[in-house]
Amino acid sequence: REAYPRMKVLGHPDSNESLKTGNFISLNENQIVNIGELKFNVIYTPGHYYDSICYQLKPVLFTGDTLFVGRTGRVISNKSSLEDLYDSVYNKILKMPMNTRIYPGHDYGFIQSILLGDNIKNSTLLRAKNFDDFKDRMDEYEKNRDIEF
């Protein structure tokens, strides 16, 4: 904060109180955020963490820890929710055009970004038939984390 006193911190209204300084800006679902001349759409995607947000700049989606190349985010913290993750991924992200380019928050995959359609082809976690199937696939993933899907 001292190094960049004018820097704005954007986040979900329920984000950790330690983030909420005078420079914190609360964002809501489908809010448009202007950064220079670019207009990003805010998509609330809880699951990996309760306050997860993706930023869409069509045809690009910055997914943070909600979706990676080859898999979804994990649900290992006390503020994670598998049900919310399923809803965020299956009812929001996977309904986007298949040519949406995914840029995760960090790199766990064999490449740094991927088209949504290709990610679905490469990940069994993105091909579940329903929530129970997704839960089973996530359980299997966690048991075999050292093995690539």
Which pLDDT tens digit goes with each residue over 87-100?
999 999 999 999 99
Q: What mean pLDDT value characterizes the chain? A: 91
The pTM is what?
0.89
Q: What's the pLDDT band for 149 if we cut at 50, 70, 90?
A: very low
Q: For 93-140, write each residue's pLDDT tens digit.
A: 999 999 999 999 987 767 999 999 999 999 999 999 999 999 999 999
Residue 25 tokens, joined: 């800006």
- Burial letters for 106-142: b for 16+ Cβ neighbours within 10 Å, e otherwise? eeebeeebbebebbeebbebbebeeeeebeebbeebe
Rounded distance, CA 76 to CA 81, Å? 9
Inter-CA distances, 132 with 83, 85, 128, Å: 10, 13, 8
Rounded distance, CA 12 to CA 135, Å? 26
∠ CA 74-77-80, nearest 5°, is 65
Q: Please give the average per-residue pLDDT across 34-46, as a whole number.
A: 96
Q: Please give the average per-residue pLDDT across 60-81, as a whole number.
A: 94
